[in-house]
Amino acid sequence: MTSDVPEQEPATTEAGAGTPGAGDLAVGRTAALVGVSVKTLHHWDAIGLARPGGRTWAGHRVYSGDDIARIHRVLVYKELGFPLAEIGRILDDPDVDAHDHLRRQRSQLVERIARLQRMVHSVDRMMAASKPGMRLTPEEQVEIFGADWQPAWVEEAEDRWGESAQWAQYAERAAAMTPEDWKESASATEALNADLAAAKRAGVAPGSAAANALAERHRAMISAHFDCTPAMHVCIGRMYIDEPGYAEHYDALAPGLTVWLRDVILANAGARGVDPESARWE
């Protein structure tokens, strides 16, 4: 932004105007300093809100330190939402000095900051409530799913599958679940895992009626979150073998459970007309 006057303009004044001091600034430099437009300063001058204390011999406005301090007070009150006419009345109140203005502005700014912080917290809660996926706090997740549960797993899953149709289904269903719903789901999963481990220890053979029933319970558990076809179930069974985290989880329930569960899932899919060798995620 350019100044209204040359940098070395003579500091002489017209009759009736204040005499510019060495530190006074022309309107362009003042506007740049306080962060408003020259047009704004002209308007505030015209309505008597923030008038320059001096003029050059050519009639150009120059602002003193006190003038600039008043502009800053105008800006603070304006930021607080006061209309210009009311700001003028406040600043021109003869019973309020500069220190009182600062104290009043500080009080109002502190109040506004507190109000904005409350708004931020409210927005944060709304964002958390509307975020797709699990709507439990990390503390609630650990309480429901056990001490070994890692809340970061949800974000990792979203990073991995977040663009899929199945994740969209999961997100929609999870968003409608209450903490009680999650507790019931966790309890059902725990019971299924116990039955799977017991069947493995008892030597239940993959492909048997008992094993197929367990496979269907396992597929139904997954389908509570997204529609899981027998072919997709086969892909999940393979993933249990390929990814150490899943294998560690199931083998901790019963040695060899991961491979046995994979075989049970594949045999059940075969009984339902799906070729386990060519099954795809569909």
**Token pair for 85:** 């006419």
**Residue 211 covered by a domain:** yes
**Burial (CB count <10 Å: 0-12, 13-18, 19+), residue 134:** buried
**Beta-carbon neighbour count of residue 227 at 10 Å?**
11
**Residue 104 covered by a domain:** no
Domain extent for 258: 178-271
pLDDT at 86: 86
How are strands ordered across the β-sheet holding 25-26?
25-26, 61-63, 54-55
pLDDT at 166: 83
**Residue 199 covered by a domain:** yes
Which residues of the chain are under the pLDDT cut of 70? 1-23, 98, 122-138, 140-158, 160-162
| Distance (Å, whole) CA 249 – CA 60 | 80
Question: What is the helix (H) or strand (E) element at residue 61, kind and residue range?
Answer: strand 61-63
**Residue 259 covered by a domain:** yes
Measured N-to-C along each axis, helices 209-223 and 179-202 cross at an angle, to the nearest 10 degrees, of 160
Q: Which amino acid is at 36?
A: V
**Residue 200 covered by a domain:** yes
**Beta-carbon neighbour count of residue 143 at 10 Å?**
16
Quick one: which of 23, 31, 37 has its CA closest to 66?
Answer: 23
**Residue 239 covered by a domain:** yes
Alpha-carbon Rg for the chain, nearest whole angstrom, is: 36
pLDDT at 175: 77
Q: How many domains does the chain have?
A: 1
Question: What is the helix (H) or strand (E) element at residue 257, kind and residue range?
Answer: helix 257-271
DSSP designation for 44 = H
pLDDT at 168: 83
Q: What is the pTM of this model?
A: 0.49
Give percent helix, percent strand, percent coil of the chain, each to the nearest 5: 65, 0, 35
pLDDT at 10: 36
pLDDT at 9: 39
CATH at residue 255: 1.10.490.50
**Residue 147 covered by a domain:** no
pLDDT at 258: 94
**Residue 265 covered by a domain:** yes
Residue 84 · residue 43 · CB < 8 Å: no
